[in-house]
């Protein structure tokens, strides 16, 4: 690059141009969350005052909306449900996907390519294609309207996605390492658990992060399979159960949306780089 030729002025101009362009994008991306937070701390009088500036809190920060959420709704039950569902279905999917991913990426047996293709196709099937028949399957299994309906069905999109992601990571591990272990008398299972898995830790972290995020955020199945308030996930609970009649209580709705997003934001802030690398490696559902 001809950096030396460029004058300082041109460089500064170019930087300014860059910022001038990126700021609108960042503002567009962030504004809804900013507005969510602002709304959740505003009192109703100001919220529904057409003359007030909506971007600011002018008449004092209040926590009434949060108190309402904590003491008058099933909010913590929903949070607990979401947590259990996400943790269990992510763990189960991780185990199934690790086994399948290793097998598809590393072992040679007849039909391995066909299985790989099948996993890839399943990975592309959108949940909205299957929610109607699955809603009947969970009725037949007797788990309709319980959190088990989601624990059982979430692996249908998590496993193909995680398998696909892990296959990529397993392929980067040199074959020689495994062959050495096998020659030294380790069983295949020991080779997988003691040699390969420790080397695929970044992939596993990615699967856990994406699994937790996708299940926590899932809406279609959670809305469809569960109707009892105390069994809902937090995303559906806040979206569907905080609206009473035709009146929208925007303050408490936004408070619920903020709090239900907190776990995801917290994870996201700590593991941003994993999200970026996972996304690039093919974690594209959604």
C-alpha span between 150 and 231 (Å, rounded): 10
Distance of CA 267 to the CA centre of its chain: 10
Given candidates 69, 79, 88, 104, which one binds another protein under the rule CB under 8 A? 104
- The DSSP secondary-structure symbol of 239 reads I
Taking the complex as a whole, the smallest distance from the CB of residue 125 to another protein amounts, in Å, to: 6
C-alpha span between 84 and 96 (Å, rounded): 18
Taking the complex as a whole, the smallest distance from the CB of residue 230 to another protein amounts, in Å, to: 19
* Under 8 Å between Cβ of 218 and 233: yes
- The DSSP secondary-structure symbol of 173 reads S
Question: What is the residue-wise DSSP string for 175-229?
Answer: HHHHHHHHHTT--HHHIIIIIIHHHTHHHHHHHHHHHHHHHHH--HHHHHH--SG
* Under 8 Å between Cβ of 81 and 232: yes
Window of 59-67, 83-91, 150-158, 200-208 that interacts with another protein by CB under 8 A = 150-158
Taking the complex as a whole, the smallest distance from the CB of residue 38 to another protein amounts, in Å, to: 10
For the chain, give the number of residues: 286
Establish if 70 lies at the interface with another protein (CB under 8 A): no
Given candidates 10, 13, 30, 180, which one binds another protein under the rule CB under 8 A? 30
Place of tokens 């709705």: 253
The alpha-carbon radius of gyration of the chain (Å, integer) is 24
Reference 160, options 209, 108, 121; nearest CA is 121
Given candidates 11, 12, 44, 54, which one binds another protein under the rule CB under 8 A? 54
Establish if 87 lies at the interface with another protein (CB under 8 A): no
Residue 247: strand pairing partners: 244
* Contact positions with another protein (CB under 8 A) in 250-269: 250, 253-254, 256-257, 260-261, 264-265, 268-269
Given candidates 69, 94, 152, 166, which one binds another protein under the rule CB under 8 A? 152
Window of 56-64, 142-150, 197-205, 277-285 that interacts with another protein by CB under 8 A = 277-285
Taking the complex as a whole, the smallest distance from the CB of residue 63 to another protein amounts, in Å, to: 19
Given candidates 69, 100, 165, 167, which one binds another protein under the rule CB under 8 A? 100
Given candidates 81, 90, 163, 231, which one binds another protein under the rule CB under 8 A? 163
C-alpha span between 74 and 81 (Å, rounded): 11
C-alpha span between 211 and 162 (Å, rounded): 8
Window of 34-42, 58-66, 164-172, 173-181 that interacts with another protein by CB under 8 A = 34-42
Establish if 107 lies at the interface with another protein (CB under 8 A): yes
Binding-site size, another protein (CB under 8 A): 96
Given candidates 84, 87, 99, 205, which one binds another protein under the rule CB under 8 A? 99
Establish if 124 lies at the interface with another protein (CB under 8 A): yes
Distance of CA 131 to the CA centre of its chain: 19
């Amino acid at each position: 690059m001809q950096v030396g030729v460029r004058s300082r002025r041109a460089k500064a101009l170019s930087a300014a141009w860059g910022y001038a362009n990126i700021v609108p994008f960042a503002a567009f991306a962030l504004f809804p969350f900013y507005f969510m937070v602002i709304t959740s701390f505003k009192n109703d009088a100001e919220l529904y005052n057409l003359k007030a500036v909506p971007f600011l809190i002018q008449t004092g920060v209040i926590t009434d909306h949060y108190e309402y959420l904590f003491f008058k709704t099933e909010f913590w039950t929903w949070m607990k449900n979401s947590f259990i569902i996400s943790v269990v279905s992510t763990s189960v999917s991780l185990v199934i996907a690790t086994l399948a991913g290793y097998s598809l990426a590393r072992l040679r047996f007849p039909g391995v390519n066909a299985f790989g293709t099948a996993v890839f196709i399943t990975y592309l099937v959108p949940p909205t294609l299957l929610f109607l028949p699955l809603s009947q399957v969970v009725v037949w299994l007797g788990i309709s309207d319980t959190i088990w309906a989601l624990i059982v069905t979430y692996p249908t999109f998590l496993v193909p996605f995680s398998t696909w992601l892990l296959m990529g990571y397993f392929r980067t591990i040199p074959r020689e390492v495994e062959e050495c272990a096998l020659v030294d008398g380790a069983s295949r299972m020991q080779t997988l658990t003691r040699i390969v898995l420790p080397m695929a830790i970044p992939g596993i972290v990615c699967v856990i992060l994406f699994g937790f995020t996708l299940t926590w955020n899932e809406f279609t199945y959670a809305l469809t399979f569960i109707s009892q308030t105390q069994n809902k996930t937090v995303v559906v609970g806040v979206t569907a159960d905080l609206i009473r009649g035709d009146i929208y209580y925007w303050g408490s709705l936004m408070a619920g949306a903020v709090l239900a997003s907190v776990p995801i934001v917290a994870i996201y802030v700590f593991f941003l780089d994993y999200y970026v690398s996972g996304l690039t490696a093919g974690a594209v559902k959604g």
